[in-house]
Structure 1
Amino acid sequence: MPTAPKGNSHTEPKIAPGGPRHVAIIMDGNGRWATQRGRPRLFGHHAGAKRVREIVEACPDFGVEYLTIFAFSTENWKRTQVEVAGLMSLFRRYISKETRSLSEFGVRVRFIGDRVRLDDKLIRLMNELEAATAHNTRVHLTIALNYGGRDEVARATQRLAQDVAAGKLDPEAVDEETLPKYLDTYVLPDPDLVIRTSGEARISNFLLWQSAYAEYEFIDTLWPDFTKAEFGSLCAAYGGRDRRFGAVKT
């Protein structure tokens, strides 16, 4: 990644008029991309990891302050042992390799998801990356790792119930503004635009609560082929949408 002054000394990006402030991406199609080339699925995952860098770097150009990417779902453990082990190795390698460049580019990294099932080395690297980039503000990159929307809501509900049981929260005061404070994404704005690559038209248990009013784009492009230009086109198209949030314009 190109280098830039650290932390708050960055020139803050100007939000494109009507453009999305927060984009979430379901990065699908790595395996098919590799299969089309006669290569193992992990080859596609490595290509997909490289694509992440380009899209992160493009965010300031399009006024995107927050980028959330779906790296590994709670359901992905069902894949072959070889693929899961390869993905975990890729995550460790990516974090080790990219920590410095992410920090220099002004990216703040957060991880969401349940870390209990992840190995100790990966958890340590995740914690170190979050700490190393905590001062940055240029792009807020959130990586969903061992994440599932239903799992997140269940864990949030457990924490909320514990606070009710402990007398810290009045159950009569619980409303739709309360639960988000217990979600993994409690410090993030809700996504404005959710993109899914590879031609599949489903949300796959991703940011279920947060995306209630998000706009969706389901595109045929496989994730390793997703370019900065296509990203920019989708952000521009978002700006032309009429977002009423359930109301009717008069």
Structure 2
Amino acid sequence: MNPQHPEPAPEDPKRILIIEDDPEIARLLQAELGEAGYRVEWAPGGMQGLVKLREDPPHLIVLDLGLPDLDGSEIARRAKQHGDVPIIVLTATDAVERKVQLLLGGADDYLTKPFHPAELLARIQVQLRRGEGGEVRRVGELEIEVESRRVRAGGREVALSPKEFALLELLSSRPGRVFSRDEIARHIWGKPLETESNVVDVHVANLRAKLREAGAYGYLRTVRGVGYALRKPAS
């Protein structure tokens, strides 16, 4: 196949990691993406893909869902723990429920097999463009890039899970405003908080710990009996 590529080859090639156990599909993708100007690496298994991700984080991952050694959903979850690299999943199922699970679990987009390489190229370009600009929120030394879902504290990258980023994104939308636990639950999980559930408190604690580890102290404020707020700490 030789589709017309919608954009010229970039001067500084973006790196794409393909995690795919089918050598024929992998070779096809390597050829198409390489012709489009990307630098491509291939991992034939999930564990090998995670090793490559840790050693040299790519700009984007193309991930086959049906790998023999590790489920693609688990790979997506682990990949997001290392940073918010865009993930496009290749899946053989067209079930709506499965697609929703993929997107909620960390995937940024998906393609159902069989697919045309030109469509994958277009989706890759969309995901990479999202990381090149967009709204940036600043609260003290915190920088939150909304579209690329990247967070920095004093210039230091903070790796958050999708749910932790959703929590920070909500709180940073109105710095200083106290959001109730129920508001947070509805925003992140799309439903009210269950009685006696501590899921919101656990995610707040995890987010606070990661911010502290990056040197950002005192940004998450707890208002007992009310909820949580993000604010610049007092000097």
TM-score by length of 1: 0.30
TM-score (norm 2): 0.32
Larger Rg: 2
- Which structure: greater strand fraction? 2
Q: Which has the higher contact order (CA 8 A, sep 6+)?
A: 1
Structure that is richer in helix per residue = 1
